[in-house]
Structure 1
Amino acid sequence: MHGRRPTWRIGGIGLIACGIVGVLRGSVFGDPIVGTVLSLLADTLWAAAILVLAFGLHREGSVVARRPLGLAAATLVALWPAVATIINLLTIPTDLTTARSDAWLFWLYLSIVLPVVAGLIAAVQAGRAQVVPRPWNWAPLWVLAAQVALWVLPQLLGVAAPSALLQMVGLFSALGTLGFLAATLGLGILAVVLSSRSGAGTVAVFGSSSAPE
């Protein structure tokens, strides 16, 4: 128990800080330099928080019980946003040649599918580990399902009714932000709250700061 509480608290505070920085990043959209700095800061906070929660400051604090599959998936979830941010900064296509276009499309699809698959594995592993008190052990999976739904819905609407999608861009953008905040502020606050409960387990956290919007 003593090993769990600091893990939840530190991990939760890291997620809350990531959510706050993410909101600030959205407010300076017109300044690419500041926006990039805030993106990297948010990615760093996200990675640190997820790694702390996954590995735990002590073995008993690990939200996936330090099972190899859970640790591998959680590590990918933690590091992927920073990797994606850096690659996007370095590999923006400068021409429309077939080779570069194909490589860029492959990267776009990979950046959508890979974090979702890793997140699903990490969330299921955290839920099955049952280190977290029920029903909160499945909270990461709830957040992931919501984020995927918020990404799929506008894609379907864009195919079925493109004009309607154009009229709802603001709404879907707001919903995407809500999904991001659920994975950061929401789960972070939950982690901190449960860290103060006597006899409570840890909080398993999943979400992608870079989840599709």
Structure 2
Amino acid sequence: MRQRRRTFMIGGTGLVLCGMLGMLQFSVPGLGPVIGILVDVVFAAAVLLFAIGLSRAASVVARRPLGVAALAVVALLPLLVRAIQPILPTMDAATFDAGLDAYREAETILTAVFFVNLLVSLAAALLASLQIARAAVVPAPWRWAPLWALIVSVVAAVVPQILFAAAGSSGAQAFAEVALLLGAVGFLARTLGLGILALVLAARLRSDSVDVYRSA
């Protein structure tokens, strides 16, 4: 019980820190890229801690291989994508000047990377959420919270695209702020929201332990 409480407390603190840093990322001039890397590193560490736990009983997936693997992908994929960005082609004036074929090739590669990242991240997040619910380490109904956060994130990403498609090129600018707001909601749901929930559950585990001790 103690190791589970510590796992929830440390991992929850990491996710809360991710949410707070994410809100600062675009409000501190010049530090956006540095904060972005820090967010990915802290997020990876927190998710890996939840996956492995300070003990087998503290792992949110009970250290089942499929659950640990899915959470590892969720944790490390953002860092992997960030690591390969420098070697990816760019869609800039230099690429356009190199010729139409070079521009189309760069567009094809970037589109492929985008969709692979999207599909792999969604599949891993969905699988991890179901494995957390199945392991039943997190008390009900909160074991479904990662799935709820995933649904919020997907909705927050899809709704702006629907609005932009409906508005057309002339009215797309009107929905730009809505898209940014929904994007922030999706990000905070899977970081700050889940982090606060983990801290609350850690506090409940501590209270339960105290009650058991007193009754003994």
Distance 1:146 1:200, change over 3 A: farther
Question: How far is the alpha carbon of 1:159 from its aligned partner?
Answer: 2.1
| Aligned match of 1:134 | 140
Identity over the aligned pairs, expressed in percent? Answer: 43
Question: How far is the alpha carbon of 1:150 from its aligned partner?
Answer: 1.1
TM-score (norm 2): 0.85
Q: How does 1:25-36 map to 2 (within 5 A)?
A: 25-28=25-28, 30-31=29-30, 34-36=31-33
| Aligned match of 1:144 | 150
Aligned pair count?
Answer: 198
Report the aligned-residue RMSD.
1.8
Question: How far is the alpha carbon of 1:127 from its aligned partner?
Answer: 0.7
Question: Is the 8 Å Cα contact of residues 5 and 205 (structure 2) preserved in structure 1?
Answer: no
- Deviating above 6 A after TM superposition, structure 1's stretches of 4 or more consecutive aligned residues are none
Structure 2: distance between partners of 1:200 and 1:185: 23
Q: How does 1:151-162 map to 2 (within 5 A)?
A: 151-162=157-168
Question: How far is the alpha carbon of 1:200 from its aligned partner?
Answer: 8.5
Question: Is the 8 Å Cα contact of residues 194 and 200 (structure 1) preserved in structure 2?
Answer: no
Secondary structure of 1:150's match? helix
The answer as to 2:41 corresponding to 1:38 is no
Question: Is the 8 Å Cα contact of residues 64 and 131 (structure 1) preserved in structure 2?
Answer: yes
Secondary structure of 2:205's match? coil
Q: Deviations over 1:96-118 (max 9, x none)?
A: 51332211110111122211111
Distance 1:198 1:100, change over 3 A: closer
Secondary structure of 1:38's match? helix
Q: 2:85 aligns with which of 88, 102, 118?
A: 88
Q: 1:178 aligns with which of 185, 190, 194?
A: 185
The one-letter code matched in structure 1 to 2:138 is V
Question: How far is the alpha carbon of 1:199 from its aligned partner?
Answer: 7.4
Structure 2: distance between partners of 1:3 and 1:80: 27
Determine which structure has more spread, i.e. the larger CA radius of gyration. 2
Q: 1:168 aligns with which of 168, 175, 185?
A: 175
Question: Is the 8 Å Cα contact of residues 67 and 132 (structure 2) preserved in structure 1?
Answer: yes
Q: Deviations over 1:62-87 (max 9, x none)?
A: 00111111111100000111222232
Q: Deviations over 1:126-183 (max 9, x none)?
A: 0111111100000000010111011111212222322444212101201110111111
Gaps of 5+ in 2: 97-101, 209-216
Distance 1:3 1:87, change over 3 A: same
Structure 2: distance between partners of 1:140 and 1:69: 16
The one-letter code matched in structure 2 to 1:48 is A
Gaps of 5+ in 1: 202-213
| Aligned match of 2:19 | 19
| Aligned match of 1:61 | 58
The one-letter code matched in structure 2 to 1:54 is A
Secondary structure of 1:137's match? helix
| Aligned match of 1:193 | 200
| Aligned match of 2:213 | none
